[in-house]
Amino acid sequence: MRPVRGVLFDKDGTLFDFAATWQAWCAVFLERIAADAMHAARLGDAIGFDYAARRFAPGSVVVAGTTSEIAAALLPHLPGQSRSSLLTVMNAEAARAPQVEAAPLVPLLGGLRQAGLRLGVATNDSEAPARAHLDRAGILHLFDFIAGFDSGHGGKPAPGQLLAFADAVGLPVEEIVMVGDSTHDLEAGRAAGMRCVGVLTGLAGRDELSARADIVFDNISALPAWIAGQAQV
């Protein structure tokens, strides 16, 4: 088997713990754009978020959908709001969301870079807030490539972002691993011809991810040892 020379990460639920980061934030965001608490609850229902329980449903559009898809689900419940104005608000609010690291990111990613790997991020978030999150975590400089759904390569589960990363770093897809917490991430990885690693720091369960991944870890802290072992197989 060819060694791993590049790693492409999803962001939310992979680099950052999804529930710890987004569930409390989403309630506050809905309150900011809603007329009242009942309206906030209806908006939550539209995107698969239980406003009272502060919890996402596993199939929520927020879990794996693009920012544009989330906006499309909210717009019918926000009369007078345009798509462009809602996206502007969503991107600005998302950029301020406090991110909870799934594992200590600076040493983990720094170690992968020192081992000679090329690193990237492929997210269904917009690129601008994604860069803000990575910068706030002190890891933006460690990535060779960052793409959001609006970066010109499409969104997952289509493989456009993944193939763009391979082209940007000059690596064959067989030497790249896609790491993600959702079926969208892993389906994109398979479509691109990459090895796939699932992590349980999102909302998908082990069985759901195992059907699409080469291996599933509790979080990305196990990744460096697995990558080192790939060269021995």
**Domain end point (choices 67, 95, 123):** 95
**Looking at the domain assignment, is residue 86 inside a domain?**
yes
Q: Are residues 49 and 164 in the same domain?
A: no
**Looking at the domain assignment, is residue 83 inside a domain?**
yes
DSSP assignments along 175-209, one per residue = GEEEEESSHHHHHHHHHHT-EEEEESSSS--HHHH
**What sign does the CA torsion over 96, 68, 128, 4 have?**
positive
pLDDT at residue 64 in the model: 85
Tell me the HSE value of 5 on the side-chain side, using a 13 A CA sphere: 12
Q: Are residues 46 and 141 in the same domain?
A: no
Q: Are residues 112 and 213 in the same domain?
A: yes
pLDDT per position as a tens digit, 143-190: 999 999 999 999 999 999 999 999 999 999 999 999 999 999 999 999
**Domain end point (choices 34, 60, 95):** 95
Tokens of 214: 């080469």
pLDDT at residue 151 in the model: 98
pLDDT at residue 98 in the model: 86
Q: Are residues 44 and 103 in the same domain?
A: no
Tokens of 75: 């717009």
Q: Are residues 196 and 177 in the same domain?
A: yes
**For 64-67, which contacts have Cβ atoms below 8 Å and span 24 or more sequence positions?**
64/124, 64/156, 64/182, 64/183, 64/184, 64/185, 65/124, 66/124, 66/125, 66/149, 66/155, 67/91, 67/94, 67/124, 67/125, 67/126, 67/148, 67/149, 67/150
| Structural domain that includes position 116 | 6-17+99-230
Q: Are residues 121 and 209 in the same domain?
A: yes
Q: Considering its fold, how many domains does the chain have in total?
A: 2
CATH number at residue 194: 3.40.50.1000
Q: What are phi and psi of 213, to 5 degrees?
A: -110, 155
Q: Are residues 13 and 25 in the same domain?
A: no
Q: Are residues 125 and 70 in the same domain?
A: no
**Looking at the domain assignment, is residue 52 inside a domain?**
yes
**Whole-model pTM over 0.85:** yes
**Looking at the domain assignment, is residue 127 inside a domain?**
yes
**Looking at the domain assignment, is residue 76 inside a domain?**
yes
* CA-to-CA separations, 215 to 181, 212, 227, in angstroms, rounded: 12, 9, 11
DSSP assignments along 38-81, one per residue = HHHHHHHHHTTEETTTTEE-TT-HHHHS-HHHHHHHHGGGSTT-
**Domain end point (choices 95, 110, 140):** 95
Tell me the HSE value of 219 on the side-chain side, using a 13 A CA sphere: 15
Q: Are residues 76 and 44 in the same domain?
A: yes
Q: Are residues 104 and 79 in the same domain?
A: no
What is the rounded CA–CA span in Å between residue 67 and residue 155? 10
Q: Are residues 215 and 117 in the same domain?
A: yes
Q: Are residues 127 and 62 in the same domain?
A: no
**Looking at the domain assignment, is residue 1 inside a domain?**
no
pLDDT at residue 232 in the model: 62
* CA-to-CA separations, 119 to 106, 141, 168, in angstroms, rounded: 13, 10, 11
Low-confidence ranges of the chain (pLDDT < 70): 232-233
Strands 118-122 and 6-9: what pairing? parallel
